[in-house]
Structure 1
């Protein structure tokens, strides 16, 4: 069996070199190496052996990374989970994952009180903070007593086919699957990232994406472990941290920044007077990943900030990426996902193994050393997507005349209307060209005559009045008649996941329960205008955060409201702008921290309009 250890660069760095920089402090490689060695001893004392499955759910990045390295050194694997996930969802994962040990953030002890019996099954070890003076020694939380343990002298190795970690993903369907990734897949993909994106020991990487997501753990933590780079995670990404994050690029001499398209949109919206932020002597690489990058945003961002975006296409099932629209690799073309690197691709007809002719849309299949080992304890689902060494991605693409791959949408989202296949993302992109719309998502609705018909959820721009006849006419200019949506449903926000992707499954569920009440213009809205402003605001917040109105008040804010993060907050701002037909100034957006402050802004705008 071939042995390897792709993380040797972590052990070889000078002790004083920065490893991880957070809001609290800078952790150097020397103390991180010592923490890993002592954590190995700590885990050995608690019976962790090669092949063990250990679930990690904690909020502290440094603790997560050092425990991850300790587990790998012992030949164990990690199941990475979100410590902020709802209790019911976390308990379902814990029950299905069949972990041998749970390493849980101590905040969960209180947050999960009152939930069903979650203490049965695997033993639990509680994890505290890492800062001096708050180690939790008085309660026995890790890392209490760690400094008294010897630094392990174990020389870690692993095999290429040994499980490294499992990341849980639900995609757009809502079904949670655990993606198994081996050390061999991670090692192969890290080499690709070095070549495509220029990562190395001198890289200073700014990546604030959640570490239980593929791009959060991969493009930053894993790169640092494999290259000896320095990772910056100083802020949780929020609307009010946009400006300091951009300023950090110059202050910390950042070389690489990793973002999802939603973040790029927020940088463009809130990063006023920071157009030159990427024009430093050190900065080299801006990476967009984790979702489809709209061509309009791509073009506008590059023109304004004068920086080329490296657009990465990949799946959790491929570690991170597979195709790259990369300036440094000569594959940069706006509006495409570029070309494959270190893997093979085929574009096949739906439901068949036959390749499509050049220029025709089909399903993308991938083959390479970076593919997942399968879904955790889900053999049937694994067999559906892994066939003969190829991964069936579920994504629709075509190859343009220059050989670049153009993303079209998801196979599972296809609407079949009277035998005709409709890609809903194509309709959404057409609708985004309309001057009245800020965003649009199209889904299929069951129909007794046609089987399915497209229905468009539309989010208008502030102050815009949606007219279905105009939208339909706009669609007919660019689409065949059978692709024109049957109805346009006005929404004030979209349900989104942790990295800002619209959760299409939730929209489909809403559609099943919704009696579409279309007015004479063909628009479904359902807005209420007779309620008092404060009540409307609380109701809107309850809808965005998916909470009861009774649980909210004007003191509810980012520090005490479940689900209040940067993405959901901006959903709330957008919804409020549409409901009250106002525009919230950028400076107000940055200042607002609770519903009371938002109410003040709304009432002020309404008073000004009335005057």
Structure 2
């Protein structure tokens, strides 16, 4: 018997349901589930899965939009000691088939309309059991019917787990090729939930409500664990589309106090006229992560929402747990005493170092690879020793991101190692160029990438999106940059697009920008 150091993370729901049985746990459209109701449904789902031979260590693929079924399956997988394997619902059947082949799940939950995805998964030889929401086919099991027929398990039925037992396969977004399954464990995630409660949304109780505006398969799902632990209400948008008007209406109706977003979503929320039509004074912690937020966008968000912005830097492998920049560390004024342009300092019990190519620590102010260690670091990639060797070296997790620390320990991310390009022998960090372009009043969004150049090796191309009702030209953008950036950093070309390509999580992968430029024959 191992040491008594791990709690089954599914018991967070069990405990809250006992403490606050009648509090609303989940609100979705017109429907409401109390913690007692949600817990009872999760327990019945556990029984239904156990009756079909699914248990400890088995992987459960989940391909669903945000909804009660997805939320319930997450908690059921945890309680069973199984492994939750959620996908981004926007993936194609072939992409989900690849994730199934990688993770070898024994069961699958699929949302309505995703029969083709289930067929692609079954074609891999995995997932004989498919639970389908609403439109079950002949080879599938209807989700609600399975719950209704299940015999509720006895109290305290949750599987006994060890600290290192896997709980969640968190698929990385695949910016460096095909997605990899990062293994998150019960012990590690117990720490992450505690740290989120300490550093990101302190003081959260059952009097709070959290609006979900991003897929539960990734950062938003991690965020909701802390809400359930504290008995706060989780509010889902009625459809998978980001309806900004509806989002602000829900903030007012539920007195939403926190939400997890990415910068592109936060900018969309702030830019929409609905932000002025609804009462959002209840917001205390509007968390943004997943990509750096440009200073111009940050200022507009602060003007509209007040001092409630919380930034963190993290990745799936460290489960969001690298830095935090609190509301009181954000500022509208360019106050020198505040870490402007920084994504914050190390999260509680986490350690950050900037290392050079040889693994040596660099002093404050010098740019190198951002490396991290501490209890939030994952247990490795599933069955991928090569990737594990590359990621964890010399006692540090290597993020693949570049940045520098100041003397106080505040981190500034300068970009992905893979985003940097070398023009005429000098390193160019696209983030710096993008920051400068976004100070142009007519530019809403932009992305800068390096492409091969016959003379300079590589040179920059900027793709810009104008603000609604405004026009912007290549000449204007280049003139705007003339006094702001060294010549070698300025892009040689500027293209104007109606929109930038975005991933299913609202990020702007540079790879997609480069692909579109090549497809349109734009280069040097």
- Unmatched 5+ stretches in structure 2: 331-336
Residue 167 of structure 1 aligns to a residue in which SS?
Answer: strand
Q: Tell me whether 509-518 or 228-237 shows the greater mean CA deviation.
A: 509-518
1:186 aligned onto 2:189: yes
In the other structure, the counterpart of 2:125 is: 121
1:151 partnered with 2:152: yes
CA distance in 2, matches of 1:145, 1:465: 56
Q: Which residue of 2 aligns with 1:51?
A: 57
Q: 1:291 to 1:45 in 2, by over 3 A?
A: same
Distance 1:234 1:140 in 2: 26
Cα deviation for residue 371 of structure 1 reads 0.9
Cα distance in structure 1, aligned partners of 2:179 and 2:210: 30
**Cα pair 2:463 2:494 within 8 Å, conserved:** yes
Q: Which residue of 2 aligns with 1:218?
A: 222
Structure 2 vs 1, CA of residues 275 and 325 (structure 1 numbering), >3 Å: closer, same or farther?
A: farther
1:17-38: CA deviation from partner (whole Å, max 9, x where unpaired): 2111111411111122222222
| Cα deviation digits, residues 220-244 of structure 1 (max 9, x gap) | 1x123433322111433645x3233
Contact 1:23 1:233 in 2 (8 A): yes
Between structure 1 and structure 2, the one with the greater Rg is 1
Taking structure 2 as the reference length, the TM-score comes to 0.88
Distance 1:270 1:117, change over 3 A: closer
1:344 and 2:351 equivalent? Answer: yes
In the aligned structure 1, how far is the partner of 2:132 from the partner of 2:106? 20
Cα distance, 1:415 vs structure 2? 0.3
Cα distance in structure 1, aligned partners of 2:445 and 2:58 = 45
Q: Does the CA contact (< 8 Å) of 2:23 and 2:34 recur in 1?
A: yes
Please tell me whether the aligned partners of residues 9 and 228 of structure 1 are also in contact (alpha carbons under 8 angstroms): no
- Aligned residue for 2:74, secondary structure, equals helix
Number of paired residues? 506
Q: CA deviation at 1:205?
A: 1.4
| Contact 1:103-1:124 at 8 Å conserved across structures | no
| Aligned position for 2:233 | 230
Q: Tell me, in whole angstroms, the C-alpha distance in 2 between the residues paired with 1:340 and 1:80.
A: 28
| Superposed displacement of residue 186, structure 1 | 0.8
1:457-472 aligned at under 5 Å gives the runs 457-461=463-467, 462-468=469-475, 470-472=476-478
Corresponding position of 2:273: 271
Counterpart in the other structure of 2:333? none
Q: Secondary structure of 2:114's partner?
A: helix
For residues 352 and 275 of structure 2, what CA distance do their matches in structure 1 show? 42
Partner Cα distance (2:523, 2:234) in 1:
51
Deviation at 1:140, TM superposition (A): 4.2
> Do structure 1's residue 362 and structure 2's residue 363 form an aligned pair?
no
Question: Which residue of structure 2 lines up, in the alignment, with residue 91 of structure 1?
Answer: 97
Cα distance change of structure 1 residues 325 and 233 upon mapping to structure 2, 3 Å threshold: same
Whether the 8 Å contact between 2:402 and 2:413 is mirrored in structure 1 is: yes
Q: In 2, are the aligned partners of 1:7 and 1:225 still within 8 Å (CA)? A: no
Structure 1 residues 117 and 243: alpha-carbon distance in aligned structure 2, compared to 1, 3 A threshold: closer
- For the residues of structure 2 that align with 1:138 and 1:374, how far apart are their CA atoms? 35
Q: Aligned ranges for residues 269-418 of structure 1 at < 5 Å?
A: 269-272=271-274, 274=276, 277-280=279-282, 283-327=283-327, 333-342=339-348, 343-349=350-356, 351-400=357-406, 402-418=408-424
CA gap of 1:22–1:465, structure 2 versus 1, over 3 A, is closer
Q: Secondary structure in 1 aligned to 2:97?
A: helix
Shift of 1:162: 0.6
CA change 1:328–1:487 in 2 (3 A) is closer
Structure 2: how far apart are the matches of 1:259 and 1:517? Answer: 33
2:211 to 184, 197, 206: 206
Q: Note the alpha carbon deviations across 1:202-253, whole angstroms, 9 max, x for none.
A: 432112311112x121111x123433322111433645x3233223223212
Aligned-partner SS, 2:143: coil
Matched, 1:67 2:47: no
1:326: Cα distance to partner? 0.7
Measured in 1, the distance between the counterparts of 2:341 and 2:408 equals 13
**Distance (whole Å) between structure 2 residues aligned to residue 435 and residue 16 of structure 1:** 50
Q: Within 5 A, what are the aligned runs for 1:164-183?
A: 164-183=167-186
Query: 2 CA distance for matches of 1:481 and 1:18?
Result: 57
Q: Is the CA contact (8 Å cut-off) linking 1:184 and 1:370 kept in structure 2?
A: no
Work out whether residues 235 and 245 of structure 1, in 8 Å CA contact, stay in contact via their aligned partners in 2. Answer: no
Change (3 A) 1:273 1:234: closer
Q: Is the 8 A contact 1:310 1:332 kept in 2?
A: no
Structure 1 residue runs of 5 or longer lacking an equivalent are 519-611
Q: Give the corresponding residue for 1:592.
A: none
Question: Separation in 1 of the partners of 2:480 and 2:65?
Answer: 47
**How do residues 73-112 of structure 1 correspond to structure 2 at under 5 angstroms?**
73-109=79-115, 111-112=116-117
Against the structure 1 CA distance between its residues 517 and 11, is the aligned structure 2 distance closer, same or farther, given a 3 Å change threshold? closer
- The CA distance in 2 between the partners of 1:136 and 1:517, in whole Å, is 49
In structure 2, C-alpha distance between the alignment counterparts of 1:233 and 1:150, rounded to whole Å? 29
C-alpha RMSD of the superposition: 2.9
Alpha-carbon distance in 1 for matches of 2:123, 2:379: 30
Distance 1:300 1:112 in 2: 40
